[in-house]
Structures are given as structure tokens and as C-alpha cells.
Chain A
Amino acid sequence: MAEIAAVIASTHHPFYYKTSLLPVNERPPFADEWISKMTAFKETLTRAKPDVLVMIGSDHFHQLWLDNMPQFLVGKAPWFDANWYNEEREFGLPRLKLRGQEELAAHILRKGLDADFDLAFSNELRIDHSVTCPIIALRPAADLPIVPIYTNIFAPPLPQPRRFVQLGKAIRELVESWDSDQRVAIIGTGHLSLELGGPRQFGEHGPDPHFDRKAVDWIASGDIDGCLAEVTLDSLHEPGNATHGFMDFMLMMGVAGDGIKADYVETVDLFHTMEAYFTWYPNGTPA
């Protein structure tokens, strides 16, 4: 059976790529700390020696639109083109082309449906920065096949937080039941408190540092019950209007498991959001 080489949960910040390319003397004050922490985070994936990446993210109204909006969608295709005109325009992100792992995608779809997750699928999916940011930051060679899984954290009505946790637990089991000798890293990105397009956007720090501290503690300690006791679809409006992206972190807590402490935890307090990076090694920390 396939082995989980690493479980990684992270924020995805579309400006990291541009920041990391700046000459040292042109970097803003926060850049050195950010780049250094991201470089250390990248090593946590490299050390795991993965063969395949399951990438959990959320389309930002690129290919998925309100006339036909899936809640959870698995990409099953031999290739995925990636990044969009408006991401090049706003963030300077490069176009990418990533190989797909169709056998694992088919397994996740079939067994996921059989386990009562009514997963949508796409055989031609252009993916966006929720998946490419972690590729660029953690595996810049972009040389591993992927299975992208999109969640709807963006276009209400949304699934309940507990459903994200349940799906995370299911994805873990589905990957572990894949008849393969491949080493699979499961990587998901979301947000802590975040406001976009509202009065609290782009402040001196994230819109709700108190929520961010609690969220980092929940994730780092694997406190799924504590998190589910406080987080609801309604409560997520309070820390910032884009904070429903935190449910992708909750999905990754489900992947990592109840009460399982992260092996690697790091945060960076940027000017308008807190970045947070977590890695678990279910089969022990690699040498």
C-alpha cells in the first residue's frame, strides 16, 4: 500500500514568489525572515522524499463558477496547466504545467464515492495559486505528479467545518488504501484570519491575531475537537471575511489525525496576514 511520506498544511501567499525573486538590496523588511522560514519549510517536504503530491486547495473563481459550483472536486487528468492571466497580472505568478497521477485520482474518486463523499471530478482542470503557491514554495522543480482536490471555501452556501475534517480523514484513508509502493505527500493550503475586499483588509497585521494564535494552537496540537467546538460557518465571519479558507486547514487536521502534534510548526507575521506552516510525518521523521 502507498505510504504517507508527509502531511503538510500551509497558508498560501501569492506574493511569496515575487518577493523571493527580489534582489537582496530591494527586499522589503519582512522578506528575509519570510524567505528563510519558507526555505526551512521546503526542507520538510524534500526530506520526506515524496513520489506523488495530493494537493488540496480552493479555486478562486477561475475555472469553477456560480453556474456549476462543486463543493469538493477531484482533478483526474494526465496534465494540469496552472495559473491564470489575473494571477500573472496581480501576483506575477508564472504559468506551470504539472503532471497528473490519474491512477490515484481514480482510486480517490471511486473509493471516496463508495464512502459517501459525493465528489465531483474534472478531466480538464486549470489549477490556480491555491495549489501552485505550495508547489512553487515547497517543490519549485514542479516535477512530481499531482492529484488536485478543490474545496469550496469561497462561494456560499459552503459545507460545514466538520465535513472538511471528515473529508480530510477520508483522504488519509483513501491514500493509505491505494495499492501502490509510491510515497505520497498530502499538502493543503488555506488561510488564518483574512479579510479581502472589506474594511479590515491590508492592515498592520492579520485582522484577528487572537484567532490566529488559537488556530495555530489547534493545528499544531491536532485539537480537532477544540477547533470544531468553536468554529462554525457563522463564527468564521468574525475574524475576517475570507477566513472560511481556514476550513482547508481543518481538512488537513483531519488528514493529520486526532490529537497528532505537528512535527514542524512555524509562523510569520506579515503586514496583513499571518503565515503558518505545519508538517507531520506519520511514519516518523525522516533522517
Chain B
Amino acid sequence: MSKYLLNKFLYSVDRDPDLVQLYKDDPAGTVTWWETERANKILNVIDSEESTWLAFTDDERRALSTYDQVALFEMGAHPFLTLTLFIAMFEHDHEPMAYVRAYADRMSHIQMPYPDIST
């Protein structure tokens, strides 16, 4: 399991308006493309010096491909990154506050202590 790579996906997509739209339009395709083309790019480093070892597990790929924010939380993905990106994609389809409250309700079964988000 790689909390780092989950976070890297969420971070990379959230900061780029084109990728936010791509992920909203085609989640599974975006995850596949990103894992193939971007997962091993070291930010701030030229392409030829990329990493060689980063890959999602099946569960991680599925959670990202199905917008499963509960699974992402349970895997220890950084909750701020998930929330920010999901708000960008989905909040404007809802009444004010309705989306973020429903987002919390979907996690109401989760007890303290929360999953560790350390990377």
C-alpha cells in the first residue's frame, strides 16, 4: 500500500484544472493514464530522471477509479487532499453545504482513532 502515491495522484490532479476536468469526465481512464505516464515522474526533475518503482495496488486503483472517498480515508490518504479535489469536482452540483455534509455522513461509521496518514 502506498499512501504516498495516492496522495501524489490527488495532489497532482487537484492543482491542475485540466486534470481535474479529466478526472471528473473519466475517472478510470484518468487513473490508468496517470499511473502509466505520471506516477513515476519526480516533480521538479526532468522526465529522463524518473522513478522506477511506484505503482498502485488493485484496491488503490479501484478506490480512485470509483471516487470512493471512504476507502481512500480508510487507506490513510491525506483527507485534506481528497476533500479539496472532490469538492472541486462535485460540490457545484449540490446545494450549499449539502455536498460536504453528505461527504461526512458517508464516513459516519468511522471511529477514532482514524487511520494513520503518516507517509
Contacts and interface: CB of A to CB of B under 8 A. Distances in A.
Contacts of B119: 66, 155-156
Contact of B103 (A61, A90, A201): A201
Contact of A198 (B7, B15, B44, B107): B107
Given A67-B42, A201-B103, A155 B78 contact: yes
Contacts of A84: 15
A198 B108 CA distance: 8
Interface string B2-39: 00100110010011110000000000000000000000
A67 B41 CA distance: 11
A198 B84 contact: no
Interface stretch (A130-138, A216-224, A236-244): A236-244
Interface residues of B, number: 39
Contacts of A237: 112-114
Interface of A: 60-62, 65-68, 84-86, 89-90, 154-157, 196-203, 237-238, 241-242
16 contacts: A61-B78, A65-B43, A67-B43, A85-B16, A86-B88, A90-B88, A156-B116, A156-B118, A197-B78, A197-B80, A197-B83, A198-B114, A199-B104, A199-B110, A201-B83, A237-B112
Interface of B: 4, 7-8, 11, 14-17, 42-44, 69, 73, 78-84, 87-88, 97, 100-101, 103-105, 107-110, 112-114, 116-119
